[in-house]
Amino acid sequence: MSEILKWRSPEEANAKRPSRETAMEAVRTLIAWAGDDPEREGLKDTPKRVVDAYREWFRGYDECPADELSRVFEEVSGYDDMVMLKKIDVESHCEHHIAPFLGKAYVAYMPTDAVVGISKIARVVEIFAKRLQTQETMTSQIAQAIEETLKPRGVAVLIDAEHQCMSTRGVHHKDVTTVTTQFTGAFKDDAELRNRFLKLAGYG
């Protein structure tokens, strides 16, 4: 099993985490470093809220993509064409600035003898999105998880997202999105199939 599919139990994960109070103290330090008083009334509860938000934003570290893809359905009446999900919400944070990047994912696979519940594909996207990420890595991880678990004839992943580390800081370019793709198997080898996926996604 590859590293991206390994799952840590809550006990293992929590053993490596600083305490909640240590995390809140770090937030107080950052507030003070920004130039404000972490003890003033409007900011007093901010460390608690930030720590709670981090547990929600980064809950993907406690979830296993292989578990989501483990239950398949073999009764598909001979269906052997593309299965595609469009416009899956992507809400992630870049690992360079911990700034949000938001967009949509398009995921398809060519089943062999079985299919997986469609919500499970969306959950795999969500699990990897809820970690500190680069868009390129996340695109590859989603494809790899589906490839390794379902062993389909091919996987296609496209993510189109706006990065707030680019729109709210640095070059301050708004309305610029980044598109990343990953193709395996039939989607990589068959240009016609790959182009059909891109056209269905609205990028053909």
Choosing from 63, 97, 147, 148, the catalytic residue is 97
Q: What is the DSSP letter of 58?
A: T
**Given 68, 93, 94, 141, which residue is catalytic?**
94
Count of beta carbons in the 10 Å neighbourhood of residue 70: 12
Is residue 97 part of the annotated active site? The answer reads yes
**From 63, 64, 148, 165, the catalytic residue:** 165
- β-partners of residue 200 are none
Where b means 16+ CB within 10 Å and e means fewer, 73-99 reads eeeeeeeeebbbbeebebebbbeeeeb
Annotation marks residue 96 as catalytic: yes
Alpha-carbon span 72 to 113, nearest angstrom:
9
b or e along 115-129 (b: 16 or more beta carbons within 10 Å of the residue's beta carbon)?
A: bbeeebbbbbbbbbb
- Active-site residue (options: 21, 96, 136, 173): 96
Task: Judge whether 141 counts as a catalytic residue.
Answer: no
Q: Which of 68, 133, 141, 163 is catalytic?
A: 163
* Residue 133 annotated to the active site: no
Known catalytic membership, residue 95: yes
Please give the distance of CA 23 from its chain centroid, rounded to a whole number: 24
Distance CA 15, CA 79 (A): 46
- Closest by CA to 69, choosing from 131, 145, 129, 138, is 145
Q: Among 93, 133, 135, 144, which one carries the catalytic annotation?
A: 135
Mark whether 163 is an active-site residue.
yes
Active site residue 64: no
Active-site residue set: 94-97, 135, 163, 165
